Amino acid sequence: MSVDDPYPAVVIDLLGSAAGAAVVFAATDIDDIVILTLFFVTARRTGRPRVRQIVAGQYLGIGALALASVVVAAGLLVVPDPWTGLLGLLPIALGVRALVQHDGDEEPVVVASTLGVAGVTIANGADNVAVYVPVFRALGPADSAVFLLVFVLLIALWCAAAAWLGGHPRIVRLVERAGHWLVPAIFVGIGLVILVSSGVLGRLIDLLG
């Protein structure tokens, strides 16, 4: 192999892109572990949502965020920031509905479908688009493909980690004792954090003021 052979440099560049993708994904989706864990705990105790729905919903939600980021990076779409923060109303609505519908006999199910899991994933990760867009703008086609491939692999790792946490005895015992209000309350809390951190509440106050 010639010392001027470009392939080693290409491989090093792609490995660097893969490492960068892993850092970006971990930094922006660490909070998603909490939501995924709640889904898996609920699935173990109630059978809903099913494991395949959780995994499919996670892929669908993260995929939608990544696709939106690529489209925005290409200049084909403008994200009305901070109005995406209104997506925080979704987990709030789901949590409140679970609390209201809870009859005391069965554990409340906040989300019971693939689309529900995807919706919560998108709502929780809407602010990730602000991070992904400049990254994809700076990447070429090959590096972008590497980023997306790493995202695909890490989603599987995230689901596996959350499934393990969802079966941890301490977490299971906690949900057994307080799951009837704790799980819905966490979803309401997540929604409030999204609304506040996005700045959409301040924008609404300014409009009404």
Structural domain includes residue 123: yes
Structural domain includes residue 133: yes
Structural domain includes residue 134: yes
Residue 164: in which H helix or E strand, if any? helix 141-166
Which pLDDT score, from 0 to 100, does residue 55 have? 96
Which pLDDT score, from 0 to 100, does residue 203 have? 77
Question: How does DSSP classify residue 58?
Answer: H
Structural domain includes residue 2: no
- 53-70 pLDDT, tens digit per residue, is 999 999 999 999 999 888
Structural domain includes residue 46: yes
- 4-39 pLDDT, tens digit per residue, is 555 455 556 778 888 889 999 998 888 888 889 989
Structural domain includes residue 198: yes
CA distance 16 to 11: 9
Q: Is the pLDDT of residue 78 over 60?
A: yes
Of the ranges 86-90, 155-159, 186-190, the best mean pLDDT one = 155-159
- 123-174 pLDDT, tens digit per residue, is 988 888 888 988 888 888 888 889 999 999 999 999 999 999 988 888 878 7
Closest by Cα among 119, 123, 112 to 183: 112
Which pLDDT score, from 0 to 100, does residue 1 have? 46
Total of domains in the chain: 1
Structural domain includes residue 1: no
Which pLDDT score, from 0 to 100, does residue 2 have? 47
Token pair of 172 as six digits: 């299971």
Which pLDDT score, from 0 to 100, does residue 11 have? 59
